């Protein structure tokens, strides 16, 4: 039924407050909205009244539908309190996450071709080595440590450096820039500056690879018709998309597991569940919690008429907790079948690095449980600082200890 006639003139802003004491659960208002109206009106940060998709089926329908655009010059932030942005220029050549087909298609095809079976196999071996090195370092550093600094951040950062062929010594500066790029408190200028710094560095690296190729993705891509400028942007995109996301999945995943000790133990005693556990943690945690699309034409969806130009916020975390798709959605159950979650998106932009991310999580989290069976939080769960101010949810720090009598 067309419900547009009954809609209020004003629409609420995006609910962002998570329930007190339940850091892994989405804002409760998102659940109420999903129950009442899986597609509802929403006021964006700049005052634009658009839409919010919270139901699993509607979320998938929006992100699978090419009538909804990813072009950044059309985008608006749904997150209240984010710095108001002026007009945004179109994506630079290479920034295909912010392009529609067919511009997106050409880049996506070249990139998919560069994630070869051989490259993935080599990266998997490196993930295992890097993880083992960091477990050793943790052990030496302990019996208390910040798991974010000592484990969750360096592993994905070193893996991306390996993928791109970036010297490991340069990873610290990338880390800071990547955090700035996803920080809602950073001004757009700061965001662009961080991205620009990474891009400038990678530009030099790409021309070095052109004259002296090494065995990595950037060197491979120099044999295509992509320009140095495009390659630098693609490298910066891979860094910004693959670093914070994976790091926060590892850190927030460890936090969730330490709050569910039986499940943490299961990861150690039953290594066969690792694959399912990774999918379930992706579903349950939904670190990339909210996406945005813009209607290019009028679209009838779920009984509503979305007008051309309307922005649609897509709540990944609400979709992943939809009881119509996942029974007992608020229960973390590493043995459940969580496939169908939208944590990597869906449709043409579905995460390019998902295979690699799965390998990283599937190695790093079980390895932690095996090496540190007595791992526990070193502070009260309520004192773990949460990333409530970022496009990527997670924890700023995760103080852990493994010393003590509970072994
Ligand atoms: C796209 C999540 C790891 C590279 C996406 C999208 C999501 C996502 C939700 C879709 C965005 C959209 O529709 O606009 C995640 C999560 C990760 C992860 C949760 C970790 C657990 C990675 C890694 C890499 C990567 C490790 C790089 C090696 C990309 C790229 C895109 C993308 C390049 C854009 C794809 C396109 O537009 O065709 N990711 N990602 N991601 N991701 Fe990931």
Residue pair 244/191 in contact by the 8 Å Cβ criterion: no
Residue 149 DSSP symbol: I
Distance 354 CA to ligand 1 centre (A): 7
Q: Which residue lies with its CA nearest to atom 26 of ligand 1? A: 242
Q: Around Cβ 383, how many Cβ atoms within 10 Å?
A: 10
Q: Which residue lies with its CA nearest to atom 3 of ligand 1? A: 242
Calpha distance 11→51 (Å, rounded): 9
Span 353-375, pLDDT tens digits: 999 999 999 999 999 999 999 99
The residues that bridge with 146 in the sheet, in sequence order, are 399
Calpha distance 262→271 (Å, rounded): 14
Calpha distance 346→340 (Å, rounded): 9
Query: Given this model, what pLDDT does residue 180 score?
Result: 78
ipTM of the complex: 0.99
238, with CB counted inside 10 A (0-12, 13-18, 19+), is buried
Nearest to 99 by CA among 230, 282, 243: 230
The residues that bridge with 301 in the sheet, in sequence order, are 304
Kindly report the backbone phi and psi dihedral angles of residue 58, in degrees, each rounded to the nearest multiple of 5, phi listed first: -70, -40
The CA dihedral of 232, 133, 285, 116, to the nearest 10 degrees, is 50
Residue pair 231/94 in contact by the 8 Å Cβ criterion: yes
DSSP string, 297-323: S-EEETTEEEPTT-EEEEEHHHHTT-T
Which residues, in sequence order, are CB contacts of 269 under 8 Å at separation 6+?
A: none
Query: Given this model, what pLDDT does residue 403 score?
Result: 80
> Among 72, 353, 361, 363, which residue has the most ligand 1 atoms within 8 Å of its CB, making it the best to mutate?
353
- Ligand 1 contacts (CB < 6 A) are 63, 70, 96-97, 108, 237-238, 241-242, 245-246, 249, 287-288, 291, 343-345, 349, 351-353, 356-357
Residue pair 185/389 in contact by the 8 Å Cβ criterion: yes
Query: Given this model, what pLDDT does residue 181 score?
Result: 76
Ligand 1 nearest-atom number relative to CA 361: 21
The terminus-to-terminus CA distance of the chain in angstroms comes to 59
Q: Which residue lies with its CA nearest to atom 7 of ligand 1? A: 344
The residues that bridge with 376 in the sheet, in sequence order, are 401
Instruction: Report the Cα 82 to chain-centroid distance in Å.
Output: 18
Ligand 1 nearest-atom number relative to CA 342: 9
Query: Given this model, what pLDDT does residue 407 score?
Result: 40
> Quick one: the chain helix, strand, coil %, rounded to 5?
50, 10, 40
Ligand 1 nearest-atom number relative to CA 98: 37
pTM: 0.94
Buried b (16+ CB within 10 A) or exposed e, 263-291: bbebbeeeeebbebbbbbbbbbbbbbbbb
Nearest to 353 by CA among 111, 167, 127, 110: 111
Query: Given this model, what pLDDT does residue 193 score?
Result: 87
| Sign of the C-alpha dihedral computed for residues 73, 10, 319 and 281 taken in this order | positive
Calpha distance 119→265 (Å, rounded): 32
Residue pair 243/178 in contact by the 8 Å Cβ criterion: yes
Q: Could you tell me the two tokens for 263?
A: 């499940």
Stretch (H or E) spanning 377: strand 376-377
Stretch (H or E) spanning 246: helix 244-259
Query: Given this model, what pLDDT does residue 189 score?
Result: 81
Query: Given this model, what pLDDT does residue 404 score?
Result: 55
Calpha distance 266→309 (Å, rounded): 48
Q: Which residue lies with its CA nearest to atom 20 of ligand 1? A: 246
Residues of the chain with pLDDT under 70: 1-9, 83-85, 182, 184, 404-407
Omega into 70 within 30° of 0, i.e. cis?
A: no
Calpha distance 158→151 (Å, rounded): 11
Nearest to 342 by CA among 360, 328, 354: 354
């Amino acid at each position: 039924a067309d419900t547009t006639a009954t809609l209020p003139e004003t629409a609420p802003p995006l609910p962002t407050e998570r329930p007190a004491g339940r850091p892994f659960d989405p804002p409760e208002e998102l659940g109420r909205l999903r129950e009442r109206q899986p597609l509802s009106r929403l006021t964006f940060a700049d005052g634009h009244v658009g839409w919010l998709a919270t139901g699993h089926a509607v979320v998938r329908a929006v992100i699978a539908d090419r009538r909804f655009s990813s072009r950044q010059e059309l985008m608006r932030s749904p997150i209240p309190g984010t710095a108001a942005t002026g007009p945004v220029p179109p994506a630079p050549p290479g920034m295909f996450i912010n392009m529609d087909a067919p511009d997106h298609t050409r880049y996506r095809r070249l990139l998919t071709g560069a994630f070869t079976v051989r490259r993935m196999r080599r990266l998997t071996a490196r993930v295992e080595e890097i993880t083992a090195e960091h477990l050793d370092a943790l052990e030496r550093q302990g019996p208390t440590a910040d798991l974010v600094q000592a484990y969750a951040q360096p592993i994905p950062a070193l893996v991306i450096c390996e993928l791109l062929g970036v010297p490991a010594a340069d990873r610290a500066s990338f880390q800071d820039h990547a955090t700035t790029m996803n920080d809602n408190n950073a001004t757009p200028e700061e965001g662009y500056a961080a991205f620009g710094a990474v891009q400038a560095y990678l530009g030099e690296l790409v021309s070095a690879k052109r004259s002296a190729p090494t065995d990595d993705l950037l060197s491979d891509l120099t044999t295509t018709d992509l320009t140095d400028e495009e390659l630098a942007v693609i490298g910066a995109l891979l860094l910004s998309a693959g670093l914070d996301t994976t790091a926060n999945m590892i850190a927030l995943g460890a936090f969730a597991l330490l709050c569910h000790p039986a499940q943490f133990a299961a990861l150690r005693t039953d290594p066969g569940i690792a694959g399912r556990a990774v999918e379930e943690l992706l579903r349950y945690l939904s670190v990339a919690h909210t996406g945005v699309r813009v209607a290019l034409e009028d679209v009838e969806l779920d009984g509503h008429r979305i007008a051309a130009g309307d922005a649609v916020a897509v709540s990944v975390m609400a979709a992943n907790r939809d009881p119509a798709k996942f029974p007992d959605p608020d229960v973390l159950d590493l043995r459940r079948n969580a496939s169908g979650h939208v944590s990597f998106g869906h449709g043409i932009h579905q995460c390019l690095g998902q295979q690699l991310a799965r390998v990283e999580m599937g190695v790093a989290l079980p390895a932690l449980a095996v090496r540190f069976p007595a791992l526990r939080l070193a502070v009260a769960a309520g004192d773990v600082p949460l990333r409530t101010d970022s496009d990527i949810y997670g924890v700023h720090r995760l103080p852990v200890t493994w010393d003590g009598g509970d072994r």
